[in-house]
Amino acid sequence: MTDVRWLEHLVPDYLWAAGVVAGDGDEGLFTLARIHDAINSVIPAGGPSPDGVFDGGLVSLERLSGSERDRVRSILTARGLVDVAVSAGFAHALRMYPSAPGNWLANLVALPGDHVDPLEAEKYLNRAIAAIADGRGHGATAIKATVFRQMLASRALSFAPDAFPMEELGRYPKDVTPSERRLVEASIRASYLATAALDDAQNAARIAWARRFWDANWNLYACRAAVLEDDEAAGKDNALDRGGTAAVAGDEADDRSQSGERVTALWDDFLRTALQTDPHLYDPGRHEVLSGLASHGFRLAFAVAAHPGLWIGEFSGPLLRSMAEVIIYLAWFATPEGREPAAHVRFKEYGRGHLKLLKLHAEEFADRAGSSEMLDDFLEDLEEEVNLELGEEWQDISFEGTFSGRDLRKMAIAADVTWLYKLVVGPASSVLHSEWPVLTRYAMELCVNPVHRPHWLPRRDLKPALRPVAGVSAAVLAGYLLDAYKAALVLPSGEAPRADASPAEEPPD
């Protein structure tokens, strides 16, 4: 058994049959059956066994011998089926591939001046592929039904009396109820799947042709970009073209200014709280760490809310992730472990250790590379920053994932904010790490030309269309940030911050 996929591996083999059934599946099914019957009448036992039966696929057409091809030509002519069986579109299409299997059938129809028209070819292929691309759709089911019929006729397939709805099959497709139709079609698709997965010569030839067909199409036909949903929603008139300050359609313009104003209002509340709460100057470390974290978080929120260039998740993701991390830290500082005096000390030490490590690396680099003005300036600045609060000889370097010695997820669990970890950090991390769904969502567009299969291309527009989604998210997160800051600031004794700060407004869902 091999992994055989319908569109990728099998559809190219049925490009002829697909053209016959495109349009009305049931009517096409009868037409295809009439052609098959004509061919069966001149080919013994329905096909060139043992390599597989004639099933309407191009590969099975190709395997007919010279004399069999002559007999097929004669019978189609005699029964007036040549024009039905071989359309001009099919003839144009197949002649685009000089070594296509079954091209002798395409050559039954003469093209004016023997000229192959790529536009006619693409038109035929688009229609044929679109008709059967969905393996469970009407067109594909009609193809599979005729294949199944050929298998039965050639006795390549037989069933125990109860294993298949034979009686219903006899009345299919015209004289069945909807539920009988579903039963018959599901059975047909299941038995088709079983034969298509065989690791035999017929399937190997089909897959080889499929590869040639799809690969050739890159040079034969142009890409066709899908209309991007977000461009449509935002209007193609790009706000960034006008300096990023222009209004966005309707309600969204309000959202934009509202998000910025909302973050500003929360910031004012935060600042009042921070400045009016006693920092305990004998050891102000906790007040400093909490306020520094919150200040950074608000600045991120404001940047996203106020700058249209950051409204796209592609750009705001890393910033919102950082915000969520800040909120998790603040929430953790409100846990019993986070309230221990060592907690904020560890936070500072952790970051300072990383800076010290950078200084050591930079010095090592300077020893090897020799001095330069830029490097010397950099080292001088580092020297000052590293020793700002504490001599570097007293600083340890930690290689833990976070300052607390637990990973962020465990901190979120301890602080009872796992929702933040799962619903914000997770998706925003996928942006930060450029995971595949993020690339298709923001940076790619689909080529929808059926002859190209669906495939992804880079977006043609460097400038994104704008909707203030991330601006609204930033404002909502800023509300949680303020709550977490205030909760962490409450002293262990239960003494509330001195400011008469009202609790942050509940952010909307």
What's the min distance (Å) between Cβ of 223 and Zn ion?
Answer: 3
Please tell me whether residue 459 adopts helix, strand or coil conformation: coil
Neighbours of 57 (CB within 10 A): 27
Q: What is the DSSP string of 369-381?
A: H---HHHHHHHHH
Q: For residues 366 and 24, give the distance between their C-alpha atoms in angstroms, rounded to a whole number.
A: 75
Torsion of CA 134, 138, 139, 144, to 10 degrees: 90
Which residues face 458 on adjacent strands? 444
What's the min distance (Å) between Cβ of 449 and Zn ion?
Answer: 5
Kind plus residue range of the DSSP H or E element containing 417:
none
What's the min distance (Å) between Cβ of 506 and Zn ion?
Answer: 48
Identity of the residue, 64 or 447, whose beta carbon is nearer to Zn ion in the bound complex: 447
| Nearest Cα residue to 298 out of 321, 266, 330, 273 | 266
Query: For residues 235-264, which are near Zn ion according to CB under 5 A?
Result: none
Q: For residues 184 and 175, give the distance between their C-alpha atoms in angstroms, rounded to a whole number.
A: 12
Token duo for residue 12: 């190219």
Range list of β-strands (E), 153-221: none
Identity of the residue, 10 or 451, whose beta carbon is nearer to Zn ion in the bound complex: 451
Give every CB contact of residue 423 below 8 A, 6+ residues apart in sequence. none
Q: Which stretch binds Zn ion (CB under 5 A): 187-195, 219-227, 335-343, 385-393?
A: 219-227
Q: Which stretch binds Zn ion (CB under 5 A): 38-46, 84-92, 165-173, 221-229?
A: 221-229
Q: For residues 292 and 481, give the distance between their C-alpha atoms in angstroms, rounded to a whole number.
A: 12
Token duo for residue 493: 């004794």
Residue facing Zn ion at closest CB distance: 447
Q: For residues 46 and 63, give the distance between their C-alpha atoms in angstroms, rounded to a whole number.
A: 13
Query: For residues 364-393, which are near Zn ion according to CB under 5 A?
Result: none
Question: Do 316 and 473 contact (CB within 8 A), yes or no?
Answer: yes
What's the min distance (Å) between Cβ of 20 and Zn ion?
Answer: 26
Q: For residues 440 and 16, give the distance between their C-alpha atoms in angstroms, rounded to a whole number.
A: 33
Work out whether 447 is an interface residue with Zn ion (CB under 5 A). yes
What's the min distance (Å) between Cβ of 56 and Zn ion?
Answer: 28
Identity of the residue, 223 or 265, whose beta carbon is nearer to Zn ion in the bound complex: 223
Q: Which stretch binds Zn ion (CB under 5 A): 58-66, 197-205, 220-228, 304-312?
A: 220-228
Q: Which stretch binds Zn ion (CB under 5 A): 43-51, 57-65, 144-152, 445-453?
A: 445-453
Tell me the per-residue interface mask from 87 to 126 with Zn ion, x by CB under 5 A, - otherwise.
Answer: ----------------------------------------
Task: Name residue, tokens 């260039």.
Answer: 309
73: burial class by Cβ within 10 Å (0-12, 13-18, 19+)? middle
What's the min distance (Å) between Cβ of 224 and Zn ion?
Answer: 7
What's the min distance (Å) between Cβ of 122 and Zn ion?
Answer: 12
Farthest-apart Cα atoms in the chain, separation: 106
What's the min distance (Å) between Cβ of 187 and Zn ion?
Answer: 36
What's the min distance (Å) between Cβ of 97 and Zn ion?
Answer: 17
| Nearest Cα residue to 470 out of 267, 252, 293, 244 | 252
Chosen residue from 111, 223, 357, 375 binding Zn ion by CB under 5 A: 223
Tell me the per-residue interface mask from 396 to 435 with Zn ion, x by CB under 5 A, - otherwise.
Answer: ----------------------------------------
303: burial class by Cβ within 10 Å (0-12, 13-18, 19+)? middle
Q: Which stretch binds Zn ion (CB under 5 A): 78-86, 136-144, 397-405, 443-451?
A: 443-451
Identity of the residue, 12 or 471, whose beta carbon is nearer to Zn ion in the bound complex: 12
Identity of the residue, 166 or 222, whose beta carbon is nearer to Zn ion in the bound complex: 222
Identity of the residue, 156 or 439, whose beta carbon is nearer to Zn ion in the bound complex: 439
Tell me the per-residue interface mask from 169 to 208 with Zn ion, x by CB under 5 A, - otherwise.
Answer: ----------------------------------------
Peptide bond into 464 cis (omega under 30): no
Interface with Zn ion: number of residues (CB under 5 A): 3
Contact residues: Zn ion, CB under 5 A: 223, 447, 452
